[in-house]
Amino acid sequence: MPPLAGQRLPDAADTEAALIARAQAGDIGAYERLSGAYADRLFMLLLRLLGDRSEAEDVAQEVMLRAWRAIARFRGQSSYFTWLYRIAVNEANRALEKRARRPPTTPIGADELQLPAPAADDPSRQAENRELRRALGRALAELPPALRTAIVLRDVEGLSTQEAAEIAGVSQAAFKSRLHQARLRVRATIGDQTLVTAGG
Amino acid sequence: MPSRSDDHQWSQQHLSHYVEGELGPRARRRLERHALGCVDCGRGIKAMRALVYAFQGLDGLAGVRAPATIFDRVRLAGPGGSPSPPNA
């Protein structure tokens, strides 16, 4: 039975390199263990990029299928995580392009963005956090996919510029440019006063 | 010598670079010198820091789990990677 999605690899006998080799030889169980270790994080990425749970579920399945079909060609030039994330970003962008050709439906859900309010905070502070979370969700939703991806990878996911640029498929200089543009747009949308107040 | 207006526009465009620590020493001094006397840019630095901090606060899976169906298409496709015909 495969591990639960997100379960950590248990021991050195199942190292990532060994799982990759077995998966490349056609072992689905090994592939599920390998990719399952990143499944929760990958799903959260898709939720943040797409803002729609059912669409994220559909795209997550597609990402896993595409990675399975392509794993024989994985050469280890990047980490497996980076490789898988890049497939996820490409699939999310493909889904967003499809969505752009359809009539608008529900915008990205601010509730999909997890902004934990510290328990010790006073109620007015928690309300400010909720309001900021909604504002961030709306501002992210208004960004073009490339800029949204830059913020999600670098600021939300906390990846290094090098890793985030590799996943986005652009040079580091181009990625930084996207990130700065995205931040300026979000700042303009939310407003300095709201941000400074929320920042305390 | 850039004018105050040039400095202001330039500073506004480089607040994210400043917060990211990407400006060289001269550029950083230029922005800081301008922000000392400019309420908008001083607040802009605080706002940009708060924005990055707020996005960092979105990190954490917070109980969200990938769906149990995430490998369904892989299982359907099988070792060859292509979906099996319905009655195969």
Which of B23, B69, B71 is the best residue to mutate to test the A interface, defined by the most A CB atoms within 10 Å of its own CB? B71
Which pLDDT value is given to residue B17? Answer: 95
Which pLDDT value is given to residue A100? Answer: 77
Q: Is B46 close to A60, i.e. CB distance below 8 A?
A: no
> CA A22 to CA A105: how far, in whole Å?
42
> CA B59 to CA A62: how far, in whole Å?
24
Which pLDDT value is given to residue A1? Answer: 42
Chain A residue nearest residue B83, CA to CA? A65
Q: What angle do CA B78, A49, B74 make, to 5 degrees?
A: 5
Q: Is A43 close to B67, i.e. CB distance below 8 A?
A: yes
Q: Is B68 close to A5, i.e. CB distance below 8 A?
A: yes
> CA A26 to CA B52: how far, in whole Å?
42
- pLDDT category of residue A135 using cuts at 50, 70 and 90: confident
Residue pairs between chains A and B whose CB atoms are closer than 8 Å: 138
Q: Is A40 close to B64, i.e. CB distance below 8 A?
A: yes
The Cβ of residue B31 has, within 10 Å, a number of other Cβ atoms equal to 23
* Spatial contact of B65 and A40, defined as CB atoms under 8 Å apart: yes
- pLDDT category of residue A167 using cuts at 50, 70 and 90: very high
Of A5, A36, A156, the CB nearest to B55: A156
Which pLDDT value is given to residue B23? Answer: 95
- Provide the token pair at A8: 């950590």
Chain B residue nearest residue A131, CA to CA? B54
Residues 6+ apart with CB under 8 A from A125: A117
**Which has more confidence, A117 or B17?**
B17
* Spatial contact of A28 and A15, defined as CB atoms under 8 Å apart: no
- pLDDT category of residue A12 using cuts at 50, 70 and 90: low
* Spatial contact of B55 and A155, defined as CB atoms under 8 Å apart: yes
A-chain residues near B60 (CB < 8 A): 114, 116
Residues 6+ apart with CB under 8 A from A120: none
**Which has more confidence, A93 or A104?**
A93
Tens digits of residue pLDDT in B24-76: 999 999 999 999 999 999 999 999 999 999 888 775 446 789 999 999 999 99
The pTM of the full predicted model, rounded to 2 decimals, is: 0.81
> CA A69 to CA A199: how far, in whole Å?
45
Which pLDDT value is given to residue A101? Answer: 78
- Provide the token pair at B14: 């480089």
A-chain residues near B48 (CB < 8 A): 183, 187, 195
A-chain residues near B61 (CB < 8 A): 6, 40-41, 44, 114
B-chain residues near A176 (CB < 8 A): 20, 22
Site of tokens 């499944």: A39
Work out the mean pLDDT of chain A and round it to a whole number: 84
